[in-house]
């Protein structure tokens, strides 16, 4: 049993489908934004994982740790994981164009 510090907030576990959607939206689309086919393959693998683990709940941190240690869905090296980020400068944002925002 873990003892909780008074200032620590207890994180509620989330359903597997929510975790899969969260991971895809926050990590796959940002780290593999130039590789649509790769991101789509990840989406399919994540959906399969969600079906297999339906009914299981875990925290976002535990899910992220599971995905990073498994390497069957996300095969980025630790170095790539830390470096690759979404670049707003490379997007063709229609709103930015209309507002005259330049990068």
What would the two tokens of residue 80 be? 């790539």
What would the two tokens of residue 40 be? 């789509």
Residue 8 resides in a domain? no
Residue 6 resides in a domain? no
What would the two tokens of residue 8 be? 């620590």
d(CA 18, CA 101): 34
**Highest mean pLDDT pick, 14-18, 69-73, 97-101:** 14-18
| Whether the Cβ atoms of residue 57 and residue 14 lie closer than 8 Å to each other | yes
Q: What does the DSSP 8-state code read for residue 4?
A: P
- Does the pTM of the predicted model rise above 0.75? no
Q: What average pLDDT does this structure show over 36-56? A: 89
Residue 2 resides in a domain? no
* Higher per-residue confidence, 45 vs 34: 45
Query: Shortest CA distance to 48 belongs to which of 16, 15, 81?
Result: 16
Q: Which domain holds residue 40?
A: 14-77+85-99
Residue 58 resides in a domain? yes
* Confidence label for 94 from pLDDT (cuts 50, 70 and 90): low
**How many C-beta atoms lie closer than 10 Å to residue 19's C-beta?**
25
**Which residues are CB-neighbours of 103 under 8 A, at least 6 positions away?**
88, 89, 96
- Phi and psi at residue 100, to the nearest 5°: 80, 20
Number of domains into which the chain is organized: 1
């Amino acid at each position: 049993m873990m003892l909780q510090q008074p200032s620590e907030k207890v994180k509620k576990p989330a359903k597997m489908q929510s975790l899969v959607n969260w991971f895809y939206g926050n990590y796959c689309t940002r780290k593999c934004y130039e590789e649509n086919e790769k991101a789509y393959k990840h989406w399919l693998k994540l959906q399969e994982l969600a079906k297999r683990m339906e009914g299981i709940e875990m925290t976002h941190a535990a899910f992220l740790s599971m995905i990073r240690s498994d390497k069957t869905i996300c095969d980025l090296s630790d170095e790539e994981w830390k470096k690759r980020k979404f670049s707003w400068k490379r997007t063709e944002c229609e709103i930015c164009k209309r507002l005259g925002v330049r990068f």
